[in-house]
Amino acid sequence: MVLTMTTGHEDSLLLLLLPTTSPLPPLVAVLALAAVLLWLSPGGPAWALSGCRRPPSGPTGVVTALSSPVAHRTLAALSRAVDGGAALMSFSVGLTRLVVSSHPDTAREILVSPAFGDRPVKDAARHLLFHRAMGFAPSGDAHWRGLRRLAAAHLFGPRRVAGAAHHRTSIGESMASDVAVIARRGEVPLKRVLHAASLKHIMATVFSKYYDDLATQEGTLLEEMVTEGYNLLGTFNWADHLPLLKWLDLQGVRRRCNRLVRKVEVFVGKIIQEHRERRSSGGVADEITGDFVDVLLGLEGEDKMADSDMIAVLWEMIFRGTDTVAILMEWVMARMVLHPDIQAKAQAELDAVVGRGVGVADADVASLPYIQCIVKETLRMHPPGPLLSWARLAIHYAHVGGHLVPAGTTAMVNMWAIAHDPAVWAEPETFRPERFQEEDVSVLGSDLRLAPFGAGRRVCPGKMLALATTHLWIAQLLHQYEWAPAAGGSVDLSERLNMSLEMATPLVCKAVPRAVVKA
């Protein structure tokens, strides 16, 4: 193919395709040139096809960072490289048009604006039934608003969180006892302990089901279902970005989802049926003493739910209520092992407030500000959802950071990048809980310098329950044990972003009971 430019009186450049020397038909050559131009467009081909005249700055081509186990770091590096550090960067993944915010101001515009009130529904999320649960249901849908209202009133509201203190305390004490048994045999694989406690907690809180040991057939099945669902939602699926691949299911995501959903329908359906039978036999619980299943079964009229919707909602509760607390606590404990001085300071606070030989009560947490600062600093350094787990979707055209973002654009917030930006945080790579003694920063969504649970109408509804559980359990573990590195003598802080930001190497450490000193 020969490219010839003509000048003279012509106003444009002509591409002369000479058939005598070109091995390509003219149409193919034109299409190839168009593809190259699309590929080289700022933001990549998906933005070029959008017709947006002034997209935010961004790399050309197709970005594959989202398939990386450290996608948050890769996107942060790309954002820094664009125009000296773009607060809003555009990029393409297949035919998906995306923007990512790496600054508190543009993050607020995305998270708080009604224009970004929906979420893009991943293929796995749809086949796992989550499009009918709070995570992915459309924000303009009465079904979604009703679910948020019910969850706030009967599960995540302040009264309910306070009322569930006995669950938290009891399960935390049981977890600490499990640590004692394991520690007598050797080192403690803490991830396994924390995940089991989190799963027991959500089952007790939402379903009034209590497991002394998850090593039963039902408990094992439950853990397997949660793990498989977590892996499926965390899998980067090209079918989400190239529509043709949805029908081919080359990665097998849809097949795995369908197999899992059949198990979920049986498992959760059995719980619903048990509650129905209890209610029909006269054991009807009121809104104070009943659990969330009772609340859903008590809905009437237009609010009444089909069993399929109840299964979707309850399955999401199990799924999302398990990973966040367990993953956050593993990072906290890793930091305690790495920083014995900080651990000692937290234990001194516990000794002063609670004393030795007495268990930590939920009511004690309010008097443990340093432990709360440790949790905040861990959320800053290791946010469980560095990209806020699930992205937003532009419902209509919106302005963000002075740029026009077209409807249908997927918008992400890189909370990890914001929390590690030296222009936002002093010494961002240093783990220093004292920074939150110097400045009280809310993590609940009002301050976008640190909003690990999101903000706006899609903020995580369970944030208060997650924090209450984490604060208490960390206090219980630090109160009873001295934590030290395993035989290798170090802790690997390498990350792996699945659906949440996990430790790539699960934490294994030593737990030594603290000497009981009578007052």
Q: Give the integer Cα–Cα distance in Å for 244 and 305.
A: 34
What are the counts of helices (DSSP H) followed by strands (DSSP E) for the chain?
19, 11
Q: Is 330 exposed, middle or buried, given 0-12, 13-18 or 19+ CB atoms closer than 10 A? A: buried
Regarding the domain delimited by 103-513, which CATH topology (the fold level of the hierarchy) does it fall under? Cytochrome p450 (1.10.630)
Q: CA–CA distance from 159 to each of 170, 209, 369 (Å)?
A: 19, 20, 22
Beta-bridge partner residues of 502? 496
Query: Is residue 373 annotated as involved in ligand binding?
Result: no
**Parallel, antiparallel, or unpaired: how do β-strands 410-413 and 96-101 relate?**
parallel
Q: How would you write the pLDDT of the chain (519 residues) with one tens digit per residue?
A: 333 333 333 333 333 333 444 566 777 776 676 666 666 677 888 888 888 878 899 998 888 889 999 999 999 999 999 866 778 999 999 999 999 999 999 999 999 999 999 999 999 999 999 999 999 999 888 899 999 998 888 889 998 899 889 989 999 999 999 999 999 999 999 999 999 999 999 999 888 888 887 778 888 999 999 999 999 999 999 999 998 898 899 999 999 999 999 999 999 999 999 999 988 887 655 555 578 899 899 888 888 899 999 999 999 999 888 889 999 999 999 999 999 999 999 999 999 999 988 999 999 999 999 999 999 999 999 999 999 878 999 999 999 999 999 999 999 999 999 999 999 999 999 999 999 999 999 999 999 999 999 999 999 999 999 999 999 999 999 999 999 999 877 899 999 999 999 999 999 999 999 974 344
373, two tokens: 């600062």
Q: CA–CA distance from 40 to each of 94, 243, 414 (Å)?
A: 14, 22, 25
Domain borders along the chain are 1-39, 103-513
Amino acid at 64: T
Asked whether 38 and 48 are in contact (CB, 8 A), the reply is: yes
